[in-house]
Each structure stands twice: as C-alpha cells, then as structure tokens.
Structure 1
Amino acid sequence: MKNAYLIHGTSTRDDDWFPWLEEEAKPTIALDRIWLPNPFNPQQAEWDQAVDDQIHPQDNLILVAHSLGCITALRYIERHHVKDARLLLVGAFDKGLPAYPELDEFMKDHPHYEQIFPKLAKATVITAKDDPIAPYQNSIAVANKIRAKLIVKEKGGHFLTSDGFTKFPLTLKELNRLAE
C-alpha cells in the first residue's frame, strides 16, 4: 500500500470530499488527512510546523492539496530533500486573493519553483472556470510553473461541499494515476 497525505485549506480535514477520497483510495493508497491548526485563521508558520510534524520527508511522496493547502504543499516540497514527489493540487493559487486580504500575510512568501520543480515526478492541477475564490488563471499559472497536467472544468466552483463536492471522482482518478 502506498502512502499519501491530504493538506486541506481553510476548512477542516473532515470537510468537503476529503473523507470520501480517503475511503475510496483504500486499499491501494493510505491517505492521511493532515490536521492543521486554526484553519479559519491560518498562520503560515503554524501550518508549516504542523505539516512538518505529520509528514516524514521521503522519496516518491504523494501530496494531495486543496486551496490554501496547495501553497502549503509546495512550500513543504521546497523545504525538504525529496525526490520524485507527486502532487495533486485542487483550486491552487500562489499569490494573494483580492477578495481575501486576510490571507495576504500567509501568502507573502512565494514558492521558489526553481527549487520545487526538480523534486517532482508528476503533478496534476484541477481548477474550475467558475471558481469564485481562486480564479482559475491562478491555478493555470501554478500548473505552468510545475509543468503539471492541467484539468480545467467549466463548472465546479472551489470544489467545496457548498459547490456539491462531497465526492470527487476526478481526484481519485488522478491520485491513482500519480501513484503508478
């Protein structure tokens, strides 16, 4: 069984499609939904420490991330010596969002892609054209920087429960592809 880790955004590890993906990934992938402190008032240093405490750096690491969890995953890869990492990023962005100035402090340290890209084996970025939180152009920019497979859905919003996403079969398909 392969191990993978899910890094959520400004929700909790028990929200949205995260528990569903954990169950559906079994028995081939053990998906650990990471606990992050203060998800509704995130602090970069606290999140980085929580992720470091729960994910042991290893080659062939598989990270699934959503929303603010995407930049957290990118920063994790940047900080650690890993080879052939695999990333599945949903609703990704790497710069501040005008509608959410409270996240500006969290976003001030931009990922250094020249340090991240060489550590990646495969990556997929999923976004939706109607995402009201992270404009899909931001996800496209992240995908280009890591040379990821890009999937742009016409509809899906930010892939939250409120957008109808308590299950998300596309993430399971891409997770299985990344784990091959």
Structure 2
Amino acid sequence: MNKPDQLVIVHGFLSTPRHHWFHWLKSQIEKKSIEVILPRMPFPRAPKPDQWLSHLKASVPLPSRNTWFIAHSLGCVTLLQYLASQNVTVGGIVLVAGFADPVPGLPELNQFTQAGIDFQQVKACTHHRIILQSLNDDVVPNYLTETLSSSLSAELYSFPAAGHFRALDGFNQFPALMAVLKDYF
C-alpha cells in the first residue's frame, strides 16, 4: 500500500475550513509530512453544485493513488461527483455523515443529489472507502448514510452519540478519525 502524500478535506453546508474539526485534522496530518488541501467551498450558506464541483476540481487538479479525501456532510456529495467525473485512481475516501439522496428538512440541498452518483465509477477509482456515521445524527438520518455505505461497498464505522460531528456536538477535534486512519497514514 502506498503511503498518502496528499489529503484533501472538503467541508460541508454552513461551514468553512475554520469550523468543527477540519483545521485540527489538517494540523495532525501535516505533522506526518503529508500535504493537506482544505479548500474554502464557495458560498457555504447558499451552495450551488456546479460552483462546488468546479472549485474542488480547481483546488485538486491532479489527484493520484497517493491522494486521500475526507469529506463532511454536503462535502461528501460534492466529492463523489468530483471522483465520478475524473479519470484517476485515488488512495481512499472517508465520508463523515455522508449522503447521496435528498435529506429530509433540507430541500435547499436537493440540487446536489438530483444528478445522482455513478457509484461504480467511484468504486473503481478508490482503493479504500470508509464511512463514519453517528447513530444520533440530527441532520443526516442514518438510513441515508447506511444506503451510501452500501452503494459504495464501504467500511462503516458507527458512533453512538456524535451528533452531526460538528463543534456544536463537541467535535473541535476528532481523535477517533485519526484512529480510523492509523492503518493508512
């Protein structure tokens, strides 16, 4: 297995790289001499799929099998669209509180899921697929994350009480994520 030399962290709806555990994770991974890209996705309070996808493509123009991605919530859908549109193979993806179908109560995000995801293409281009869910997520229902895990044939880690993995839920740091990554990084 190739050791990653690049990690891309994709934040979600209503957040920026400064929020939650993103900056903490960046500093932890950089200590391992791995480049970390943490793009600020455009207009996170009023996101548009085409803008997010083109921004991610511009931020990570040449991923390789030594590139890993970690995405949170809405960032997961964007990442999956990005991977399905690239002709590359990457080391792995970690999707935290991810979904690929409409989220009840958040119709403003439906435009991200309307196009659908080419799961076969994503599986073909990712060596490792890992999904983290919280059993008490109050934003993304568990069935959406479990459906995503099944569609990707991903390894699924369930946390009993992590909410939506936000700072509000106590996630300014995320040591459990580092524990999941220890076998790869």
Is the TM value for this pair above 0.5?
yes
Contact conserved, 2:63 with 2:90, CA < 8 A, in 1? Answer: no
Gapped runs of 5+ residues in structure 2? none
2:62 pairs with 1:57 = yes
Query: Following the alignment from structure 1 to structure 2, what is the Cα–Cα distance between the partners of residues 84 and 5?
Result: 11
Query: Following the alignment from structure 2 to structure 1, what is the Cα–Cα distance between the partners of residues 60 and 27?
Result: 20
1:174–1:31: structure 2 CA closer, same or farther, 3 Å change rule?
Answer: farther
Gapped runs of 5+ residues in structure 1? none
Counterpart pick for 2:25 among 21, 32, 45: 21
Residue pairs, 1:8-157, within 5 angstroms: 8-10=11-13, 11-28=15-32, 29-60=34-65, 61-157=67-163
Query: Following the alignment from structure 1 to structure 2, what is the Cα–Cα distance between the partners of residues 77 and 37?
Result: 19
**1:58 shift after superposition:** 2.6
**1:94 shift after superposition:** 0.4
**1:84 shift after superposition:** 4.0
1:166–1:147: structure 2 CA closer, same or farther, 3 Å change rule?
Answer: same
Identity %: 25
- Normalised by the length of structure 1, the TM-score is 0.94
- Normalised by the length of structure 2, the TM-score is 0.92
- Matched length: 179
Could you report, residue by residue, the CA deviation over 1:29-55 in whole angstroms, capped at 9, with x for unpaired residues? 222211110001110000001001000
Paired letter, 1:20: W
Q: CA RMSD in A?
A: 1.3
Query: Following the alignment from structure 1 to structure 2, what is the Cα–Cα distance between the partners of residues 21 and 165?
Result: 11
